[in-house]
Amino acid sequence: MDLEKLIRDRIRDIADYPKPGVVFKDITPLLSDHVAFAGAVDSIVNHYGRGTIDHIVGIEARGFILAAPVAYHFGAGFVPVRKKGKLPSRTYEETYDLEYGTETIEMHVDAFGPGDRVLIVDDVLATGGTARAAADLVRRAGAEVVGLSVLIELSFLHGRDKLGNLDVHSLVTV
Ligand code: AMP
């Protein structure tokens, strides 16, 4: 079975959502196909190898859906990165630019132990601002960012250029 083709086939393009000019990558068909969903999770784990990662960081909200089973399969803990104001304890925050305006994300200050090895997981890498801010949060908390895994990389937006020499692992590139 060609897993990359299956994953590609299960990602639906929604034109002009959430606003005109944007092609939204809808992963709900992939999530509802147990072979595609499990295959995506397994290929992230296989890329890095069980036992090499201490914590998986998932980015709100679709990143959570992928990051939790990835964490389970790695034998790693799960740490949420959330939009500002959602986490209950003390946080670090990072603000970054969107096309219009800014976004602020947060992570608990005590999420990791010193030197923990962390993999960040999200559904889409677009301009890279979200991933960059998440990586900065992890580093501020004293952990090492081993890589970023995404289902879909929108290569025409050059998001990986914002991420320095971070290992970017994408299952599908468009
Ligand atoms: P960016 O910070 O530009 O890399 O955007 C990445 C974040 O926005 C991810 O958390 C995605 O869930 C979401 N995102 C950006 N562009 C898209 C898209 N075309 N389709 C679906 N989600 C997107």
For the stretch 49-93, pLDDT in tens is 999 999 999 999 999 999 999 999 999 999 999 999 999 999 999
Domain annotation covers residue 10:
no
CB of 128 sitting under 6 A from ligand 1: yes
Q: Which residues are catalytic?
A: 62, 99
Query: Which pTM value belongs to this model?
Result: 0.98
Do the domain assignments include residue 31?
A: no
pLDDT at 100: 78
pLDDT grade for 1, boundaries at 50, 70 and 90? confident
Structural domains counted in the chain: 1
Long-range Cβ contact pairs of 36-41 (< 8 A, separation 24 or more):
36/3, 36/6, 36/7, 36/10, 37/69, 39/3, 39/6, 39/7, 40/3, 40/7, 40/66, 40/151, 40/171, 41/66, 41/69, 41/70, 41/73
- In this prediction, residue 114 carries a pLDDT of 87
CA of 94 to the centre of ligand 1 (A): 17
CATH of the domain at 88: 3.40.50.2020
> Is there a domain that residue 38 lies in?
no
Whether residue 110 is contained in a domain is answered as: yes
Quote the pLDDT of residue 22: 93
Flag whether 32 is in a domain: no
What is the pLDDT of the chain when averaged over all its residues? Answer: 97
**pLDDT score of 119:** 98
Q: Is the C-beta atom of 24 inside 6 A of ligand 1? A: yes
Range of the structural domain that residue 131 is part of? 51-173
pLDDT of residue 99: 75
- Over residues 116-156, the pLDDT tens digits come to 999 999 999 999 999 999 999 999 999 999 999 999 999 99
Find out whether the beta carbon of 80 lies less than 6 Å from any atom of ligand 1. Answer: no
